[in-house]
Structure 1
């Protein structure tokens, strides 16, 4: 079982996330948080892959242990929080022509490009953008990938509300938007999502524009969407915002929505 969730959602989205049920025996609700700072993209991707593989190995051992009527291991949950140097990533369903720079152009902008195994099209990561990579075993919470995406979105929506920004969802699109209401004249995307889920273990995640240099989005067709703008907390508030403060606020909201215990 291997799911990919893209920038464009295939189903109608729900407006709210249901309350999570109390943990059952064998479920681990601890969330190990790693604050990595500014780190290159590829080593972080490799770390995600290693954590995913380690968790899948535990689940494989648990399957054999269950058949042998032996005790089961708890599976871990990780959250990597970081910023990246300028980089463009293309998901499995993306179109290479949505990158508008050639190799010379990438070098001129001190940017790199990578094809990766998440869902979705092309997106940008860079300094001043809060990137979160949850490697969660959804068997510890709920086995519903669409609900999981809504939880990530809701954590961002609640964080933005802390800064008096009214954000929400646009029907049929994954991510978090300002001026999202039907008929709004200037919908602006402030957070992108793209995830992979293997045997209910997630990787990849979200990218929230805090103090991001938005000019870099001008070199791509973000998530393949041509008729909507991109924005950031800095642009909306007219001032630089503490990315560490945003990070800690988002952590608390995400933990509350998942019913998770934060561990460092």
Structure 2
């Protein structure tokens, strides 16, 4: 039996380290529960219809973070172009973390989405998982008349990926263990793009970073965008959202 229900949480503006610890707690609880379920199932006689059915939970978390730079497992520390004094001057912090990908920036005006899903409830294909997250962002941008797509060989969502004007609007980095996911995506709505000048974004030194505000020439209602993104994720994954 698969659990398509997804618990929706909005953490608002949340310190990155605190959010990371909360994610880790939910992630670890789900992985532990999966192990316990499998151990119990191994002890249940075949055909026992009275056996207790236990389902793993799923979470979809939205938040924003104060200024922070994070470095994934495959990243290079030199892609952060600030020393400790520079970070302090920018009122920013830095964390090397256990997601995939290279370095990225999070800050106010950016939608951060952390799906903590047991992919056994949906599909066990991490590449399809990333493509569906990308598609949700692409469809959300289309709601505002913006045409975006993918850049071959990289995760995330881009504009004009097929020419020299390529620019990234959404970065992704995930961790997956026993088909349970954590971390997720960072979608630029109205952030201060100057903060991206202090890194080599995602390890790519010849591509620009953009936002919905920059592309449309006006400030965007971030709550509205978040609602649209939530809708597209729920449809693409066949989720039943609960609060």
TM over 0.5: yes
1:135 is matched with 116
Could you tell me how far apart the structure 1 residues matched to 2:53 and 2:34 are?
9
The question of 1:49 aligning with 2:14 is answered no
1:1-264 → structure 2 map (5 Å cutoff): 26-69=1-44, 70-180=51-161, 182=162, 184-264=163-243
> Structure 1 stretches (4+) deviating beyond 2 angstroms?
none
Gaps of 5+ in 2: 45-50
Could you tell me how far apart the structure 2 residues matched to 1:237 and 1:30 are?
35
1:85-120 superposed Cα distances (whole Å, 9 cap, x missing partner):
000001111111000000000000000000100011
1:194-246 superposed Cα distances (whole Å, 9 cap, x missing partner):
00000000000000000010000000000100111000000001111011101
1:14 is matched with none
* Contact 1:65/1:71, CA 8 A, preserved across alignment: no
TM-score normalised by the chain length of structure 2: 0.96
* Contact 1:66/1:72, CA 8 A, preserved across alignment: no
Q: How many residues align?
A: 237
Q: What is the CA distance between 1:185 and its match in structure 2? A: 2.8
Q: What is the CA distance between 1:71 and its match in structure 2? A: 2.4
Could you tell me how far apart the structure 2 residues matched to 1:174 and 1:102 are?
27
Gaps of 5+ in 1: 1-25
Q: What is the CA distance between 1:61 and its match in structure 2? A: 1.1
Secondary structure of residue in 2 paired with 1:168:
coil
Could you tell me how far apart the structure 1 residues matched to 2:190 and 2:128 are?
28
TM-score normalised by the chain length of structure 1: 0.89
Kindly indicate whether structure 1 or structure 2 has the higher relative contact order, using CA contacts under 8 Å at least 6 residues apart: 1
- Between 1:185-194 and 1:66-75, the stretch displaced more is 66-75
1:9 is matched with none
